[in-house]
Each structure stands twice: as structure tokens, then as C-alpha cells.
Structure 1
Amino acid sequence: MMDPSPYKFYHEDDFDSRQHLQSYFSDKPDEVSEEDSMIFPIENLTKTFTEGHIKRDVLIDLSQGSIVHHLFAACDFFKHIIVLKMRDRCIMELKRWVDERTGAFNWGHVTTLHEDIEENRDLLEEKEGKVRSALQHVLKCDLDKEDIMDPIVLPPADCIISFSLLDAISKDQDDYMRYLRKFSSLLKPGGHIILIGGLGMTYYTIGKHKFCAFNYYEDFARKALVEEGFIIDRCEVKMRTCVNDHIDHKGMIFIAAHRET
């Protein structure tokens, strides 16, 4: 039975990061989320990075939960990857994988997806090793602060990736714009930002709990970036093909943009 209590919020209520991974990013044969949560982002990240327009130094990742699969596409293109998380539980789950500790979530199936998309048959250990080597810091941020990393000073990023985090923490358009502004403040002049999220979504479930999601569509995402001074380089939308009761998104969006210098 679904929890009858009101919807929960990712940044305000208890969030089970391992259950999140198992629910939407597992290797089970009947994983209906694979096309949206894994294949679509991987394909578009691979296309974007291989075009060579993004400088290859510092990447900052601000994404929901403890996901790491999207960073497999980035490890060949950035010297340093810095992951920022707002939840201690998410940090612990991700560090368990980074440190190759017993019980870490297995991302081997995603490596296979990357190899198929990139047509590159690197060994599993080599690909995962590249990600771990580039992923030098997993740090906690505070989204309530104007400078979300205060008092830590980070090197300005060439690129920021945010996978579903804006969807999960924004309650309305003003929230989305405020958080987008905070994220983009971590960029170098002329830096790039990549947003991946669900369209037309109002909720997603983690175990027995329903979490609220910000409902928006492509036109709003485009407008938000333009208002923040970005020029859109790529925007891909994929409509949802598989239906389940765990999440009600209508489609997925991948949008890459750069800020004018």
C-alpha cells in the first residue's frame, strides 16, 4: 500500500539513496526505466562530449541521489570530477562505490551500455577505474546558502551536470530559477551546463514513499537557461514509452548550454 501521508520532498524528508538506485537504475531484466534513466542520458552525453566543444578540465556534478552512471561518459573528457551532494546518506552510498567497498551498488550493466553506445569494448575494470580516478572529491553542499559551498572554495567549473536534482528540489518556477542561478555560479565565464530531467512529472516513488517533483516542460527549461544568460547548444526530448505506477513523467529532456563570456 502507498503511504497515505502527503508527498515528501527530496531535500526535506528521509530519502533512501540505495532504494532509489534499485528502483530506477538496476540491472534487473524487466527494468522499465532503463531507456529513460540510463540509455537516453548516456547517448546524449556521449554525443555532446565527443563533439569536443567543452573544455576538459573541471566537471562539477549536482545530481539526485547517488547516481554515477552519467559520469562514465565524462571520465574520458575531464581531468577532475567533483560531485556535490546535499544528503549525508547519498555521500556515503556513492563513496562506498568509489572506494570499492563491500556492498557497493553494482554499475557493471551501465558500463556495458556505454560500451555499446561508444562502440568501445574497454574492460569493465578499466572504465570504472577511469571514473574513480577522475572523481576526486565527493563533498557536501548546502542549497540554503547563497554560496552553496561556503566556506569551501572550489575551482570554477568548465562544465556542470545536473541530473534530476532541479526536478526534485524545486517546488515552483521561482525555486527552479533560484537553484539554477546558484548552480551556474560555480561555472567559469563561458562555461557549460547540462540539465537532464523528467518532463510533465508530479511524483516519483522510493519504496513506499511518494516524493513530489516539479512539473515543467521544454519551453520552460529553455526559457530558464536563456534568462540566466545561457545559449542553448543542444536540446533533445524523448517521450515516455513505458508506463508504471512508480513515476508519472511524460518524457525526458537533455539540454546543454553555454554561458556567454
Structure 2
Amino acid sequence: MDCRSHKFYHVDGFDSRRCLETYFSDNPEMVFGDESLKFPIEKLHHIFNAGDIKGDILIDISSFSITHHLYSACDFFKDIYLLKFKEKCVMEMNRWLNTRTGAFDWNHALTHFTKLEGNSDQCEDKEIKLKTAIKQIVKCDIEKENLTDPVVLPQADCVISAWLLELISKDQDDYIRYLKKITKLLKPGGQLILFGVLNATYFMIGQDRFHYFKYDENYARKVLTGEGFIIDHCDVLKRKAVSDLSDYQGVIFITAHKKK
């Protein structure tokens, strides 16, 4: 289907809360638990605890209003900055960060993480630790030279981008151009962590159909190596969810670095 008939995540409006409830909640009808919830939590738990990725500054530039993939990060980075394209996402995340009435409940994801850690009775402590590590939530614009203008952020030891590049890219040229912009947030020798959906063309939020740029594992690897990155780890989880809300075939996790 022509992508021009689809909406674009960073251009068009969408219901941020409905998106969370559809793809990241503990609602009984939410069928994406393995791919959207458990996979990022488990992969980052494993990769950070391996001890090779750590530092002072972590920048997360991910889609939607998600935080669950960052529970491990607050043990390995002093300061975390969150970048969001949509004002609604900034508001949603500030509501959670400041424990305001009506904030999205991530307790199901937090419980899964603390069980991995073997500390299932320390959910509240872990959430407080993550919130304390988050220094700023910044609205950004992918088309600006400085994505966060007028805010100037320090360069990061690690950048995480989850489920984002395929949402904002119309084609291969966009994907490469936006990847270049995101990786400018890194210090020389910094670590890049990507999550993505493979071979997808759309996802639904309510009655609205949103665009995905379709690519496969080989393409992701080729682009990163073409940009001078060395891939340290790559893992693909084939789709388990049964739903017509999206047509993706799997999800991918990549860690990579550039030589100093």
C-alpha cells in the first residue's frame, strides 16, 4: 500500500494513551507482550549486566511514551535524558515521572523486570531510582540540525532508540539520514542500541493507520556498517502476536559502536 495513504507518527496527531493501552498495557486483549514488553526489558537487562555498556550520560530517543525498557539503564548510567517528538508524549511521560493522577501504570512491566533481577519485592525502589536518574524530558525535532534546539544536551555515552526509525522514515534515504542525526548525539566510541520492527508496513491506533518503513535484518546490518559502526550483538524475535493491528514479522535488537 502506498505510504502516502498512511499517517506519520512524528507529523500527524495520535492518541498517546490509546497507543500505550494497545501495545504496552496489561489489558487481557493486549497480545504484544512478548515483543513490545518482555523483549526490550530482557535484552537490556542482559546486555547491561554483561558490563560492557555503561557511562555517565544515556540519551533515549524512542517512540511513544514508553519507559519500561529503561529499568536496567538506571543502574549503569548516572543521568538519563528522554527525547520525544510529540508534545502529548512529553506530557504523558511527565505525568508518570511526577506520579500524577492518571499516569499510565507500568507496574506489570516493572514486576517482570524485578523478577529477572531476583528482587520482586523492590518494585517501588526501582521505579524511584529510574525517575531520579531521568534529568530531563525534551521535545525534539528530527529535521533540526540540533534535534533539541534551543536545548543543548551533552553528548551521550550511549543512545537508545526503540521502535522509532521505521516510524519516521518514508524510505531508505530517510532511514539513513535520520540514523546519522540520532548518532550525532553519541560521544566518539559511544554505544548505540536499536530496537525495531521487521518487514512491517503499518500499525493501527484506533481507526488510524500509521506508516512503517519496511526493512529486514540484512538491511539494518548493512546500514549500520555503512555508517562505520561495528555490530556487537544482534538478535531477532519472530512474531508471536496474532492481531491485524500491525503486519510486522518480528522485532530486532542491535548494539553497535564506532571506533574512537
Decide: shared fold, TM above 0.5.
Answer: yes
User: In structure 2, what is the Cα distance between the partners aligned to 1:119 and 1:220?
Assistant: 37
1:6 alignment counterpart: 5
Q: CA RMSD in A?
A: 1.2
Assess if the C-alpha contact under 8 Å between 2:58 and 2:156 holds in 1. Answer: yes
* 2:66 equivalent to 1:67: yes
User: In structure 2, what is the Cα distance between the partners aligned to 1:118 and 1:124?
Assistant: 10
Identity rate of aligned residues, in percent? 53
In structure 2, give the amino acid aligned to 1:159.
C
- The gaps in structure 1 that reach 5 residues or longer are none
Deviations 1:178-236 (A, max 9, x none): 01000000101100010001001100001110101010000111111111111101100
In structure 1, give the amino acid aligned to 2:113.
H
TM-score for the superposition, normalised by structure 1: 0.96
2:245 alignment counterpart: 246
Q: Moved runs in structure 1, 4+ residues, more than 3 A? A: none
1:84 alignment counterpart: 83
Quick check: 251-260 or 115-124, which moved more? 115-124
Deviations 1:45-66 (A, max 9, x none): 1111011111321100000010
How many residues align structurally? Answer: 257
- The gaps in structure 2 that reach 5 residues or longer are none
2:34 alignment counterpart: 35
Quick check: 147-156 or 11-20, which moved more? 147-156
2:198 alignment counterpart: 199
Shift of 1:136: 1.1
User: In structure 2, what is the Cα distance between the partners aligned to 1:83 and 1:113?
Assistant: 22
User: In structure 2, what is the Cα distance between the partners aligned to 1:173 and 1:42?
Assistant: 28
User: In structure 2, what is the Cα distance between the partners aligned to 1:177 and 1:120?
Assistant: 40
Shift of 1:119: 2.4
1:157 alignment counterpart: 156
1:189 alignment counterpart: 188
- 1:1-261 paired onto structure 2 within 5 Å: 6-261=5-260
User: In structure 1, what is the Cα distance between the partners aligned to 2:184 and 2:140?
Assistant: 14
In structure 1, give the amino acid aligned to 2:149.
D
Assess if the C-alpha contact under 8 Å between 2:233 and 2:254 holds in 1. Answer: yes
User: In structure 2, what is the Cα distance between the partners aligned to 1:193 and 1:252?
Assistant: 17
Shift of 1:249: 0.4
User: In structure 2, what is the Cα distance between the partners aligned to 1:221 and 1:118?
Assistant: 30
SS at 1:57 equivalent = strand
